Amino acid sequence: MFSLSTTTRHAHHAAASSEEPCALPLLSESGEGVQGTLVPARPQWKKLASSLLAAGLVVNGLLLVAGVGFVYLFGQSRDVVERVQHALSTGDWRTGASYDAGTYFLCVAVIVATVIALLTLVVAFISLFVGESRFRSLRMWLVFTALVAGWIGLVSGWPDIYWNGQQRRVRPVLAEAESMLRELNADWPTEDGERLGLGPFQAYPMYSPVETPTMLMLLREGRFAGTAIRFSGIERMRNTKVMRIQLSGDDAGSWLEWRDDDSPPVSFVSGLSTSHSLERKQRLAPRWYLVRYGGRCEGGSGPAG
């Protein structure tokens, strides 16, 4: 009797247990059992979009750094940037300056880089509102703001970046330039001729019975030893205390000035009767200035210091 009742109780308990629902573990994306709500797998296209957006921000930052480095380190950057600005405003990248295949390639590269930078910034801005949570964070707002500020600074301040880079490039030639100018000042040519280190030149003003030439226009560009800095002419004011080296090539438009009294540069009229108006100047060393002239200043009937 006892064994029968015990057997009966076990049978009822087993039946009751079999009637209870079986709790199965939920699986996470990795397949491991977890307690809680089932997490759906993220669509592959969202993963890809997120990766591309992150890569775009990195590319944008690298392009910004490369742009600053290009303008600061390379003399030809001024010509390239001016051609690109001309192309964007007129539709024609060609200017009055001479060009070659290398310049054309750099212009195209700058335009492509500019388009990529704009596209990645636009996409990054949109992601701040409709992107995933990590792209709508305060950190990403700060990253985006920093990139925009950097590009605005580069676009508006590239002449200053170039100017500082040009100062760095020309400082190494000052010793050689001073030696050359002192020799010329002690024995200034009065007619066309040729000098060691300068090559053949023409002296201006030409054929003047009352005026000593104030400019030597080189028939072949000169180059400072061990550098890429080239020059095409040398000016000497009649007081002999101011001499100018007209830079050419990548540095065209700028002058190295030796001023014996260390006075600041001013606008002047060259030996070719061309007026040069002062744009900017920077003292490089005692008696030495890097100067950029532009346009034509009004008046002036002869060279001035």
User: Which of these three, 112, 136, 160, is where a domain ends?
Assistant: 136
Give the 3-state secondary structure of 245-274.
EEEEHHHCCEEEEEECCCCCCCCEECCCCC
Q: Please write the tens of the pLDDT for every residue from 48-82.
A: 767 777 888 899 999 999 999 999 999 999 999 98
Q: Indicate the residue type of 90.
A: T
Tell me: do 259 and 195 sit in the same domain.
Answer: yes
Give a yes or no: residue 166 inside a domain. no
My answer on whether 121 and 179 are in the same domain is no
CA distance 255 to 243: 10
Kindly state whether residues 197 and 114 are assigned to the same domain: no
On whether residue 65 sits in a domain, the answer given is yes
Q: How far apart are CA 264 and CA 231, in angstroms?
A: 22
Distance (Å) of CA 144 to CA 31, 78, 185? 37, 28, 56
pLDDT of residue 36: 52
Helices of type H across the chain: 2-19, 44-73, 77-90, 101-130, 138-170, 174-186
Residues 98 and 207 in one domain: no
Is 162 a domain residue? no
CA dihedral 254→257→263→268, nearest 10 degrees, is -60
Question: Do the domain assignments include residue 158?
Answer: no
Q: Which two tokens stand for residue 15?
A: 């039946």
pLDDT, tens digit, 9 for 90 and up, residues 91-114? 765 655 556 778 888 989 999 999
From CA 293, how far away is CA 279, in angstroms rounded? 5
Query: What is the C-alpha end-to-end distance of the chain, expressed in Å?
Result: 133
Q: What six digits make up the tokens of 25? A: 């573990």
Q: What is the structure's pLDDT at 62? A: 95
Same domain, 281 and 184: yes
Specify whether the CB–CB gap between 269 and 263 falls below 8 A. Answer: no
DSSP annotation of 136: G
- State how many domains the chain has: 2
- Which amino acid is present at 4? L
Contact between 88 and 112 (Cβ < 8 Å)? no
> Which residue(s) pair with 34 in the sheet?
26
Max CA distance (Å), the chain = 150
Higher per-residue pLDDT: 227 or 90: 227
Per residue in 255-285, pLDDT tens? Answer: 999 998 889 999 988 878 788 899 999 999 9
Whether 204 and 257 map to the same domain: the answer is yes
Q: List the domain range (segments joined by +) for residue 241.
A: 173-294
Quickly count: other Cβ atoms within 10 Å of residue 149's Cβ.
Answer: 10
CA angle, 282 then 164 then 236, to 5°: 35
Same domain for 275 and 183: yes
Q: Each residue of 128-187: pLDDT tens digit?
A: 887 677 677 888 889 999 999 999 999 999 999 999 999 999 999 999 999 999 999 888
DSSP H or E segment with residue 22: none
